[in-house]
Amino acid sequence: MRSFSRTRVVLTTTAVALAAMVAACSSPPPPPPPPVVQAPPPPPPITLSASVVERASAFRGYMARASQVSPTFQNGEQIQASLKVGAAYETKSFMNGAVAYAAVLALQDPTFVASVREVAANPAQRQEMVNNIFSNPSYATMFKGADSAAGLIIDTIGGDGLKLFMAGKAVKQAAYDVQKSTWSKATVVDRDGRLASTKSLSTSPALAESADVAVLQQASTGGQSLGLTPRAAEAPYSPVVVRGLAVAALAALGAAGDENLTSIDALSVDPATNSCLNMAKLNLYQCLAVSKPHYEDIFCLGQHILIDTGACVIKAAGATVPPEPPRVLPVKESIATRGAGSNSRKAKTPAKKPAKKG
């Protein structure tokens, strides 16, 4: 009897164990671990080619130097030195520099940059927008803040052009005033040499200063601000403004580095402004070719370097060129009649008041 009970207990225990094993085998497997969600890659950093920044600095530097040309000439040497300052830019690089500086200015607008950076966070959208801007720069005007970024460009570059223009007006007036001095009527020494020097300076790009390049580099990548206040400007914008916004947008998308420099160069071309600058240079050469006394060189400097270049920059920025006031002092058109081409704008050179008859 005891043996039977013991056997029954063993069988019961075994049955329970088997039931537990069967139950364990029939239960569902544990759930798999949750999938690892990878965070999207961060947008590329704001990138602007060092060459673009150098061009911007060269443009800004020339505008500052040329605007400081003084109209208080005391001798021919001062005139020739000022001619060298004013003539020292090559039109194509100057044009590229204007667009480059416009891009740096647009990057000072936080709303515009933040709006572009939202697109940069999505790789597919980013690449699509990069392609769109390279094919049509006007895409950059669609971003929020483009109007205030455009205002920065118009006010700053247009203002720099106005300073140069007004400096030219003062120098041009000096061409009349200086005739009270006997030395101003003397013939320029080595006229052919100074014309050749002017043409040589016009084939060399203006140089940038390293300290200014560092300032603009920091400003373009979100570092030190230039301390400008944005102002919303209504469209339509000039080609230089549109192209400046485009290069700035590409920089905010991380697509304006050295590897994209060739495409940025093509994007920076504005035929109208380039033609304006070329005409200013052509008129300068014609003016100097027939200029003899020192006061006529002052006229060439004031009109065809400072005024004409300043007007080109003002127009390029989409600002308004000041109207020409009525001429007060009498002039003779000796320079225009002594060799200016038929397609050029006739320049008037100052001269003394004619003596009274009788």
pLDDT tens per residue, range 78-93:
999 999 999 999 999 9
Query: Cα 252 to chain center, whole Å?
Result: 15
> Is residue 299 included in any domain, yes or no?
yes
Top pLDDT among 204 and 100 is at: 100
- Domain of residue 203 covers 48-315
User: What pLDDT was estimated at residue 42?
Assistant: 79
> Is residue 114 included in any domain, yes or no?
yes
User: What pLDDT was estimated at residue 331?
Assistant: 47
Q: Coil, strand or helix: which one is 146?
A: helix
Q: Say how far apart CA 69 and CA 78 lie, in whole Å.
A: 10
- % of the chain at pLDDT higher than 90: 70
Question: What is the rounded average pLDDT of the residues 298-313?
Answer: 97
State how far the alpha carbon of 306 is from the alpha carbons of 70, 75, 99, 102, 339, in Å: 11, 19, 20, 21, 21
Burial class (CB in 10 A: 0-12, 13-18, 19+), 24: exposed
Mean pLDDT (the chain) is 86
Give 303's DSSP letter. I
> Is residue 242 included in any domain, yes or no?
yes
Let me know: does 95 contact 278? Beta carbons within 8 Å: no
In 3D, which of 137, 110, 143, 299 has the Cα closest to residue 219?
110
Q: How many domains does the chain fold into?
A: 1
| Confidence band of 310 (pLDDT split at 50, 70, 90) | very high
Question: In terms of pTM, does the model score above 0.75?
Answer: yes
Give 279's DSSP letter. H
Q: Say how far apart CA 133 and CA 129 lie, in whole Å.
A: 6
pLDDT of 338 over the 90 cut: no
> Is residue 39 included in any domain, yes or no?
no
> Is residue 128 included in any domain, yes or no?
yes
**Alpha helices of the chain — where are they, by DSSP H?**
2-26, 50-67, 76-87, 91-106, 110-120, 123-135, 146-177, 191-201, 210-220, 239-252, 261-267, 271-290, 294-300, 308-317, 334-337
| Confidence band of 357 (pLDDT split at 50, 70, 90) | very low
> Is residue 355 included in any domain, yes or no?
no
